[in-house]
Amino acid sequence: MKFTTAIKAIATAGAMALMMSTAASAVTLQMHNGGDPGTLDPHKASGDWENRVIGDYIEGLLTENAKAEAIPGQAESWEISEDGTVYTFKLRDGIQWSDGTPVTAGDFVFAFQRLFNPATAADYAYLQFPIKNSEKINSGEITDFNELGVKAIDDKTLEITLEAPTPFFLDALTHYTAYPVPKHLVEKFGDDWTKVENIVGNGPYLIKEWLPGSYVRSEKNADYYDAANVQIDEVFYHVLEDQAAALNRYRAGEFDILTDFPADQYQWLQDNMPGQAHVVPFLGVYYYVMNQEEGQVLSDVRIREALSTTVVREVIGPDILGTGELPAYGWVPPGTNNYVDTAYAPEWASIPYEERVAHAKELMTEAGYGPDKPLTLQLRYNTNDNHQRIAVAIAAMWEPLGVKVELFNAETAVHYDALRAGDFQVGRAGWLLDYNDPSNTLDLLKTGISQDGTMNWGNNYGRYSNAEYDDLMKQASTELDLVARGKLLANAEKIAMDEFAAIPIYWYVSKDVVSPKISGFEENAKNIFRTRWLSKSE
């Protein structure tokens, strides 16, 4: 047994022993969390596997109810100016960090300034760019953080000024980028404030243990304002990317909730554990990014077109996964608010597949590739049974083009680090809407921001760049007429998809398995279910 494997085995055994020892005195939730959290800092986080933990121990001005709808959080109320640009929030009485320090409006000011500070390098800072001067501060154009549109009127009153009326702003405030951070601890410890020995929270749970590669453990926060209604005493967020192993542990009673499962086991779950598998459409897109940096082979739009048009999306959901995901040809999920009625549909999607393959071969020949000069591409994906099935299938679809695919998998954190660094050719990615507005996915394709002479591409992993696209997104950000705004965004989507900025593959469905012992689990389009609303019976 390798040393690292042995350590993980010991850690798992220790976790199980602790679970058994606490079971008699506390209600413990065993959550399969998938990937290993790279951070517990809301300004550094990047995935749902981190969101599940962070959203339990920190709460923003607004939070989510059981259906993931925005409700009052640390703010008990707010007022919006007549022109829709100024939000004034009143904080609850008595709210505090878990070390007894009061949570004040100043913590929120400090947090937003830290979020937009270029030195923080927060990949998701752009989610809060509706705030006045935030983008200019983030790009370094403005260096005086006092120019940010976030002000503390007093300890209990926070004022946020926007660049323009933003219909989704309250929903955006439920995202972890809008969470407060403890100013007194960040100033004392810097980024080390999230170490277990330093960390504090203001949410329904408090971090007590963090064993990377194994689990995070939280306990109920007795000082949380709604603690009387919080039913779960303790939560284990288990790291396990092997879905088959996770399902086996669920069947053995070791997990109460699975946040994913092997798609080929869906029918088995329906037959043998009826009602426990929850497969629900929700707002998100599964896609492949193609590295379009200058000098990269995929900077050639002909090759990108050949690859995208020969992916048979219709077989992915029903045949390869077996959970019915719908094919995606556009970038904005169906049902997204504040958008046009008709989804993007490329003309090539209606062309018979054989003709698409023939045209794709012609494009590859024009680009200088063919039977005598095959194109070899590395396709990266994060370790996951379902991702592997899809990668194998798509590699086979590209084989008739003379494309040889080398599959490469890595753990989630390593995989996304490679995407951000541009260390890939084709890479698997996914996006779940942080708030219900088309800008949340379309912002992914905006040109990166120049910082200190370098480009920060954020989550635009493929480095797609189009000046007309960027201009339309800028126009939409200040357009007050929602219909006109929707048309601007739709035009932007068409430009990016016509240039094959990425390869959308399918619209997501959430795949959770929930024990009959768990109550309070509500299916929702965001697939966010906070532990605060759950209860467990023995």
Q: Give span(s): CATH 3.10.105.10, the chain.
A: 281-509
190 contacts: CB under 8 Å, gap ≥ 6: none
Beta carbons within 8 Å of 321's beta carbon, 6+ residues apart:
263, 264, 386, 389, 390
- As a whole number of angstroms, the distance between CA 51 and CA 8 comes to 23
Tell me how far apart the alpha carbons of residues 462 and 424 are, in angstroms, rounded to a whole number: 9
C-beta neighbour count of 436 within 10 angstroms: 21
On whether the CB atoms of residues 133 and 50 are closer than 8 A, the answer is no
Give me the pLDDT at residue 397, please: 97
Which residues make beta-bridge pairs with 96? Answer: 102
Tokens 């085995």 correspond to: 9
pLDDT of residue 71: 97
Could you give the CA distance from residue 377 to residue 405 in angstroms, rounded to a whole number?
A: 5
Question: What is the reported pLDDT for 20?
Answer: 45
Q: How far is residue 481 from each of residues 82, 336, 385, 443, measured CA to CA in Å?
A: 15, 17, 44, 19
Tokens describing residue 449: 């921001």
- Alpha helices in 367-481, H assignment, sequence order: 385-398, 412-421, 439-442, 467-478
Q: How far is CA 265 from the centre of its chain?
A: 25
Q: Which of 247, 249, 269 is nearest to 260 (CA)?
A: 247
Q: What are the pLDDT tens digits along the chain (538 aa)? A: 333 334 344 444 445 544 444 444 789 999 999 989 999 999 999 889 999 999 999 999 999 999 999 999 999 999 999 999 999 999 999 999 999 999 999 999 999 999 999 999 998 999 999 999 999 999 999 999 999 999 999 999 999 999 999 988 999 999 999 999 999 999 999 999 999 999 999 999 999 999 999 999 999 999 999 999 999 999 999 999 999 999 999 999 999 999 999 988 999 999 999 999 999 888 999 999 999 999 999 999 999 999 999 999 999 999 999 898 999 999 999 889 889 988 899 999 999 999 999 999 999 999 999 888 999 999 999 999 999 999 999 999 999 999 999 999 999 989 999 999 999 999 999 999 988 899 999 999 999 876 666 778 888 999 999 999 999 999 998 888 889 999 999 999 999 999 999 999 999 989 999 999 999 999 988 899 999 999 999 7
Provide CATH 3.40.190.10 ranges for the chain: 3-255+515-536
Q: Using the 8-state DSSP alphabet, how is residue 297 labeled?
A: G
CATH number of the 281-509 domain: 3.10.105.10
Integer CA distances (angstroms), 529 to 43, 48, 170, 257, 523, in order: 21, 11, 18, 11, 8
> Tokens at residue 300, please?
């050639």
Give the homologous superfamily in CATH for domain 3-255+515-536. Answer: Periplasmic binding protein-like II (3.40.190.10)
Query: Which pLDDT score, from 0 to 100, does residue 295 have?
Result: 93
Distances (CA, A) of 302 to 68, 287, 401: 41, 19, 12
What phi, psi does 153 have (nearest 5°)? -70, -40
- In this structure, are residues 252 and 385 in contact, taking their beta carbons and an 8 Å threshold? no
